[in-house]
Amino acid sequence: MRDAASHHDEATTRIPLEDIAPYPHNPAWREDGTSEKTKRLADSIGEVGVLQPILVVSAADYLKHHPEDREAIADRPWVTPAGVRRLTASRLAGKEDIPATVRPELAAQIGLIPLHENDPDLRLAFTPLEEARQMQRAMDEQGLSQRKLAEHLGRAQGQISKRLALLTLPASAQEALESEAMLVTDAPLVLEMLGQVDLRQREEVVAAFDERLRSRCAASAEAVRKETLMAFVREARNEIGQRRARREAQEVADREGLRVIEPGKTLGVGWQEHRLTDAEAIEQAREQGDLAVAVSGEDTVYFRVSPPPATAARAAERKAARDEQAEARKAAQAREQHLVTVLAVKPKAGELVATLADGLLRGRSVNGVQATLARTLAQGAGVGPSAERTQDDYEWKQLAQTHAERLHLAWISAVAAQEVDTRAPHHTWGAADCDYLAWLTDRGYVPTPWEKDQLAAARTRTDDSVPTSPDEDTETTEQDDPQTDSVESAQEEQA
């Protein structure tokens, strides 16, 4: 090895590669020679050599200011603060030495040098976190404020502040930044949201956030989106708030000799009506041994365990309503199954016209849920385009091949629109529904007990009796109507 003292200050000379230690705090990936840029640089150095000398300081000068790096420097007499990539590329190119400029004055401010963006050796940029760590190291070593560091680097102080803020991110977010699973532009959002958390909960919220983010990054290589980060912070904050609320509720329960319940599970449907807010009602329930506590949001609240006086009647009403809805769904399913058989047969021309006219005059829509049901019924009946051709409700209608098929599908759509009206939630049956059920009954359908109840109720609401078969005024018999042929015959006549 050559003696470092034999070189003059700011002299440019050639130094054996084995005598130069890289700056110990450069990221390790700069020195392993695996990057494509380093490999291309090695090819260039192999052809024309190193065109720009690297910067070096003597190890003795460097260790005066950084004695903690003695082990990393070992017995090498030189340290390069700017030249690691050229040093690595020269080794790859098979070189034994490299041109170097000796700059002893850099030993005291060596931490600043890698941060200068105009240094040609640093075009392989720091990652944002690496840069933040290097900035913090330089400030600590040089005793610089953010403003002074910004002046040294020729950058705005705001840029320095934002970069240093990355060091305050939770560990999981820093890991996500390093792996490029998270964008550096999303970091301020995480910091802002975590900054809104109560200081007493901050540590727990950060731990919960870390758990969610690490789990996401381990499960998927997909980049974490801004919405996901916001959700993680919200979930972590809510979870910690819930934990604190449960602890407080348990403390109240232990202090007052009560039990903690989960209202929905313990009290069932209508649990909200068990909540007590009046002090007198709370004390009364306590005396009766009927009091419990629960968590509502992040608060501890009191509940009466037994049903309030009026609750039983309301619970019975709700049960009756649920039973009614269940019977209505069963009836709708039964009608739909029967319709598949009925609608498979092409309608007579008179029936087609009457059905379409009724739907038109009543302003029924054939789009949306009506179109979805129409497609389901038609495909179940084997009419029109098959499910394999399309699942789109609008496109399905357009794929009908013949005039007869289009008329058949129009009829099915009109019937489906009536069925949608009849099965609508909270719908009160009227004359149209009774006519529709009579039409189905004439075609072999057997009404359910629930439907019979609806028919009876509808009759009591009308002045005139509701017919049990299709309206004679609107029905056209084959004897009276000259258009007695099927839709298919109508098409043949047009042809």
Instruction: For 303-333, write each residue's pLDDT tens digit.
Output: 988 876 666 667 777 788 888 999 999 999 9
- Rounded distance between C-alpha atoms, residue 82 and residue 122, angstroms: 8
Q: How many CB atoms lie within 10 A of CB 312?
A: 11
Assess whether 97 and 190 both reside in one domain: no
Assess whether 283 and 407 both reside in one domain: no
Structure tokens at 41: 């640089």
Assess whether 238 and 272 both reside in one domain: no
Residue 195 or residue 290, greater confidence: 290
- Rounded distance between C-alpha atoms, residue 114 and residue 378, angstroms: 73
Residue 492 or residue 360, greater confidence: 360
Assess whether 282 and 431 both reside in one domain: no
The model's confidence at residue 139, banded by pLDDT at 50, 70 and 90, is confident
Domain end, chosen from 90, 105, 125, is at 125
Assess whether 300 and 332 both reside in one domain: no
479 within a domain of the structure (yes/no): yes
Q: Which CATH number does the domain housing residue 98 bear?
A: 3.90.1530.10
Instruction: For 155-195, write each residue's pLDDT tens digit.
Output: 788 888 888 988 888 888 888 888 777 778 878 878 877 77
Stretch 375-390: mean pLDDT, rounded?
A: 77
Answer yes or no: pTM beyond 0.85: no
DSSP tag of 260: B
- Rounded distance between C-alpha atoms, residue 339 and residue 332, angstroms: 10
38 within a domain of the structure (yes/no): yes
Average pLDDT, the chain: 79
Domain span at residue 363 reads 317-494
Q: What is the pLDDT of residue 257?
A: 92
139 within a domain of the structure (yes/no): no
Assess whether 384 and 283 both reside in one domain: no
135 within a domain of the structure (yes/no): no
**Lowest-pLDDT choice from 71-75, 175-179, 338-342:** 175-179
- Rounded distance between C-alpha atoms, residue 13 and residue 143, angstroms: 33
Assess whether 92 and 194 both reside in one domain: no
251 within a domain of the structure (yes/no): no
Structure tokens at 416: 């489906």
145 within a domain of the structure (yes/no): no
